[in-house]
Structure 1
Amino acid sequence: MLRIVLTILLVAFIIFNLKNKNRGGKQLQLNQEVIFVNDIKLQAHIKTSKGDINIDLFPEVAPVTVANFVNLSRRGYYNNLKFHRVIADFMIQGGCPLGTGTGGPGYNFQDEFPAAPDAKYQFNRPGLLAMANAGPGTNGSQFFVTHVPTDWLNNKHTIFGEVVSEEDQNVVNSVAQGDTIEAITVTGDVEKFVEANESLFIQLDDALKNDFPNLVK
């Protein structure tokens, strides 16, 4: 039985990566050391066709990833995209503009993992928000939220948030493939975060407008 379970997990992990292998774009060099995150509290609200998913973001450990997510959300990039991949007892995945798992914002950026092991930032429980990728340094716009603990993903996918409540997790668990992300909004210290890191957001906008000029005004 254990061998069957391990085989299923391995196959899911392989598919998880191969489905994203074609995403590419300009490689951004974003310096997380200069990003201001002191006392920054941010919460994402993912409005879906199944209900709202509220997520506490982790700028303290994944500042580049959170900044990218905030920028794409406020530009309306995620509006009306589909959850293009849902694997029962694993995760829901969205954020592909093509709806195929092969699209992205036209750029990639680095992974972000804790400098020291920290249980808060490990795949040891359900409800974690993380970046989908095609290997190291290939983060773009696709993200996933987990149904269950998935510890084999540790140090392979950047964790940058967690669902707020059991009610939010119930919405995650109800999402089916093809359901819609109607919009994503971020609340909290958004303006403080953006203003303190203005050069980073300018860099993200400059990269985004190459493929999505209508989103950057």
Structure 2
Amino acid sequence: MNLDQIKKPEVGEEIVIIKTNHGDIKVRLFPKAAPKAVENFKTHAKNGYYDGVTFHRVMKDFMVQGGDPDGSGRGGQSVWGSSFEDEFDPEYHNLRGSLSMANAGPNTNGSQFFIVQKGDVDKGFIAEMKKAGLEGGFSEDVVKAYENLGGTPWLDFKHTVFGQVFEGMDVVDKIANVKTGMGDKPKEDVVMEKVEVIEYK
């Protein structure tokens, strides 16, 4: 598989460490594929916007979602103070471990994001992707990645993919397995204690 999305970061590349009360999640960012989403996330991280914010929506075998300072799932805004547009690239998909923008429909990106946790893809979906092929945005490498890693292909071209976890998926799995109540909200807060942007060494 020759997908850029699942490669390790190079030395000197900027990465993000999401330090949670369950452990650290390390993410490689994709500034070429999603420049605005990356700028938004990095600026929020550097400004401390995400520090102390919870993962307010957790769905096992699907994803974990955070980035809303009021923890309701309805709050948060972009660094520009208004929604910004989606950025889709046929090489970047909602594979297991992808960092993607949460939204309320097309071009409504703010501060919320999710990490895909799902570890498989239904065979019917794989068949559909193979049928759609390159025209549908699913190269052979993308289909293989979905087969090997899992993910949520039905979110492709609906949610901007702007990063990929390269270390700490065990932490994402741990978070996905916490007990939840109404609205998929964890019964005990899952907190991002600090989100740091650093150079990969």
Q: Residue in 1 aligned with 2:103?
A: 133
Q: Which runs of 5+ in 2 are unaligned?
A: 1-10, 119-150, 179-185
Q: Residue in 1 aligned with 2:158?
A: 156
* 1:183 CA displacement: 0.9
**Superposition misfits of 4+ residues, deviation over 3 angstroms:** none
Number of residue pairs matched? 144
Going by fraction, where is helix more abundant, 1 or 2? 1
Taking structure 1 as the reference length, the TM-score comes to 0.64
In 1, Cα distance between the equivalents of 2:82 and 2:17? 24
Q: Residue in 2 aligned with 1:108?
A: 83
- Give the alignment partner of residue 122 of structure 1, picking from 76, 79, 93: 93
Is contact 1:131–1:139 with CA below 8 Å preserved after alignment? yes
Name whichever of 99-108 and 148-157 sits farther off. 99-108
Letter in 1 for 2:87: E
Q: Residue in 2 aligned with 1:26?
A: none
In 2, Cα distance between the equivalents of 1:41 and 1:60? 13
Secondary structure, counterpart of 1:110 in structure 2: coil
In 1, Cα distance between the equivalents of 2:37 and 2:88? 11
* 1:188 CA displacement: 2.2
* 1:181 CA displacement: 0.6
In 2, Cα distance between the equivalents of 1:159 and 1:40? 22
Secondary structure, counterpart of 2:27 in structure 1: strand
Q: Residue in 1 aligned with 2:191?
A: 180
In 2, Cα distance between the equivalents of 1:188 and 1:45? 10
Letter in 1 for 2:154: W
Backbone CA RMSD of aligned residues: 1.6
Letter in 2 for 1:180: V
Name whichever of 97-106 and 152-161 sits farther off. 97-106
Taking structure 2 as the reference length, the TM-score comes to 0.69
Using the aligned pairs only, state the percent identity: 47
Letter in 2 for 1:172: V
Secondary structure, counterpart of 1:161 in structure 2: strand
In 2, Cα distance between the equivalents of 1:89 and 1:170? 13
Letter in 2 for 1:181: M
Secondary structure, counterpart of 1:174 in structure 2: helix
Q: Residue in 1 aligned with 2:41?
A: 69
Q: Which runs of 5+ in 1 are unaligned?
A: 1-38, 190-217
* 1:40 CA displacement: 8.0
Secondary structure, counterpart of 2:44 in structure 1: helix
